[in-house]
Amino acid sequence: MLTVGLIGYGAIGKDVAAYIKENKAGDVKLEAILVRDKQKYQDLDNAALFIDNEAEFFQTGLDIIVENAGHDAVFQYAKKALSSGSHFIVVSVGAFSNTDFFHKIKGIAKQNNRRLIIPSAAIGGLDRISAASLNGLEKVTLITKKPPKAWKGTPSEKIVDLDALQSPFLLFEGTAKESAQLFPESTNVSAALGIAGLGMEQTNVKVYVDPSIIANTHKIVAEGFFGKMEINIENTPSADNPKTGYIVAMSVCKTLNNLSSHLMIGI
Alpha-helical (H) ranges within 197-245 are none
Q: Rounded distance, CA 109 to CA 234, Å?
A: 33
CA dihedral 85, 122, 255, 46 (to 10 degrees): 70
**Which amino acid is residue 142, in one-letter code?**
L
8 Å CB contact between 106 and 74: no
> Are the CB atoms for 89 and 258 separated by under 8 Å?
no
* CA-to-CA separations, 97 to 132, 160, 208, 216, in angstroms, rounded: 21, 25, 20, 22
For residues 167 and 146, give the distance between their C-alpha atoms in angstroms, rounded to a whole number. Answer: 12
Which residues, 6+ apart, have CB-to-CB distance to 125 below 8 Å?
A: 220, 222, 229, 231
Rounded-to-integer distance, Cα 212 and Cα 87, Å: 41
- The question of whether 87 is a catalytic residue gets the answer no
Q: Which is the catalytic residue, given 71, 87, 103, 218?
A: 218
User: Which residues are the active-site residues?
Assistant: 218
